[in-house]
Structure 1
Amino acid sequence: MLIWLNGPFGGGKTQTAYELRRRLPGSVVCDPEHLGFGLHRMMPPELRGDFQDLPAWRRGVHDVLDLVLRKHPGTVIVPMTVVEPEYFAETVGRLREQGHDVRHFALLAERGTVLRRLRERGFGRVVRYVAGKDAPLRRESFAVSRLDLCLERLSGAEFAEHVRTDHLSVPQVADRVAASAGLRLAPGADGPLRGRLRRAAVGVRHIRFD
């Protein structure tokens, strides 16, 4: 089975993916961003745009996930924002057409909730620190500039199943996803402090500077 976690930047995809991996023995996280940033590193800066617009990225994501699903015995977890219907069809759609069991979840929240989460986690260079306080999110940042489009597109029926996360913790979101997919998670043994530390570590490991 493949669990595809979609949603806006700041929607909790990566945190939920690693919570699922921690509590689902034999599972693995496959992050398509690695392929995207690898393609960017092959290109001069002036040619780098949204790597999802590159056919090579879409083909590569499909081919790698197809291979992993055929060879890896455990659940495959993919945290990736995809809002273009054509690109969704070339990745999720093609995998389903080939007979793979793909469960897609769009993690959604109110706009204000997502912006607050971005501020709280210090989203790379999106949040600037002035006099020890968070500055407003820069409008030109990729994450914020795409937020309204992401929320609008992902609310459509073609991007179901929808999971509203405004009032859910990361473990609770993972529980919802697993229950819907028919997966049985190990109990979450983290206390509040340990859970926050674990999620902070995941966030630090996934800060992008490309």
Structure 2
Amino acid sequence: MLLWINGPHGGGKTQTAHEIRRRLPGSVVCDPEHIGFGLLRTLPPALRADFQDLAAWRQGVVETLDLALTRHDGVVIAPMTVTDPRCFAETVGALRERGHDVHHFTLLAERETVLRRLRERRVGRLLRRVTRRARPAGESWAVRRLDHCLERLREPEFAEHLWTDRTSVPKTADRIAVLAGLTLRPNTEGALRTRLRQARVGLRHVRFD
């Protein structure tokens, strides 16, 4: 089974994916962004744009997730923003055509909620300054794309929609599990430990290039 977790940048996809992995034995997170970053790093800086425009990314995502779903004995979780219907068809749709059990969820939130979450990533910008390896098109790109993402992702083709403004990451993970027919281990950790663990997840996913 594949759980594809969609949503705007700052919508909680990565945190939710890792929460499910933590509480679902045998599951694994396969992040399609890593394929895109690798493709961009092979190009001259002037040619680096949206990797989703590259056919190689769309094909690579399908081949990689197809392999994981075929060979891995457990649930595969893919946190990835996709708003273009053609790209959606060539990734999520293509995996369904190959016979895989794909459950797609879109995490949504009000604009101000997403902007607040993006502002909380300032620690990532600080780390990039410290290492003098700033990424020029960082979160400002996410903010510029936010209205487009929220508008497109509300469309019926991107259901199942889950609103997360007043819901914690563990509760969002619980909801996804119920809809997908999965059983997660109980969430027994306290609020402080949850915040610390989520901070570690966030730091591991700061981009330095």
Q: Distance in 2 between matches of 1:140 and 1:79?
A: 17
Corresponding residue of 1:118: 118
Corresponding residue of 1:77: 77
> Would you say the 8 A contact 2:177–2:183 is kept in 1?
yes
Q: Does 1:191 align with 2:186?
A: no
Percent identity of equivalent pairs? 69
Q: Does 1:151 align with 2:150?
A: yes
Corresponding residue of 2:49: 49
Corresponding residue of 1:108: 108
- For structure 1, the 5+ residue unaligned runs are 130-137
Q: Which amino acid aligns with 2:178?
A: A
Between Structure 1 and Structure 2, how many residues are aligned?
A: 201
SS in 2 for 1:141: helix
Q: TM-score, normalised by structure 2?
A: 0.92
Q: Distance in 1 between matches of 2:149 and 2:172?
A: 19
Q: Distance in 1 between matches of 2:108 and 2:191?
A: 23
> Would you say the 8 A contact 2:124–2:203 is kept in 1?
no
Corresponding residue of 1:66: 66
Q: Distance in 2 between matches of 1:59 and 1:166?
A: 33
After superposition, residues 155-166 of structure 1 pair within 5 angstroms as 155-166=154-165
Q: Distance in 1 between matches of 2:208 and 2:110?
A: 27
SS in 2 for 1:49: coil
SS in 2 for 1:22: helix
- For structure 2, the 5+ residue unaligned runs are 130-136
Structure number with the higher helix fraction is 2
Q: CA deviation at 1:22?
A: 0.2
Q: Distance in 2 between matches of 1:83 and 1:50?
A: 12
> Would you say the 8 A contact 1:5–1:77 is kept in 2?
yes
Q: Which amino acid aligns with 2:174?
A: D
Corresponding residue of 1:16: 16
Q: TM-score, normalised by structure 1?
A: 0.92
Q: Distance in 2 between matches of 1:43 and 1:204?
A: 26
Q: Distance in 2 between matches of 1:115 and 1:201?
A: 20
Q: Which amino acid aligns with 2:15?
A: Q
> Would you say the 8 A contact 1:139–1:145 is kept in 2?
no
Quickly say closer, same or farther: Cα 1:71–1:42, change in 2 above 3 A: same
Quickly say closer, same or farther: Cα 1:123–1:150, change in 2 above 3 A: farther
> Would you say the 8 A contact 1:15–1:170 is kept in 2?
yes
After superposition, residues 162-173 of structure 1 pair within 5 angstroms as 162-173=161-172
Moved over 6 A (4+): none
When the two chains are superposed, the root-mean-square deviation of aligned CA atoms in Å is 1.9
Q: Distance in 2 between matches of 1:122 and 1:67?
A: 36
SS in 2 for 1:125: helix
Q: CA deviation at 1:139?
A: 10
Q: Distance in 1 between matches of 2:121 and 2:169?
A: 14
Corresponding residue of 2:174: 175
Q: Distance in 2 between matches of 1:62 and 1:118?
A: 29
1:15-44 CA distance string (max 9 Å, x none):
000000000000000001111111111111
Q: Distance in 2 between matches of 1:185 and 1:38?
A: 32
Q: Which amino acid aligns with 1:156?
A: E
Q: CA deviation at 1:97?
A: 1.1
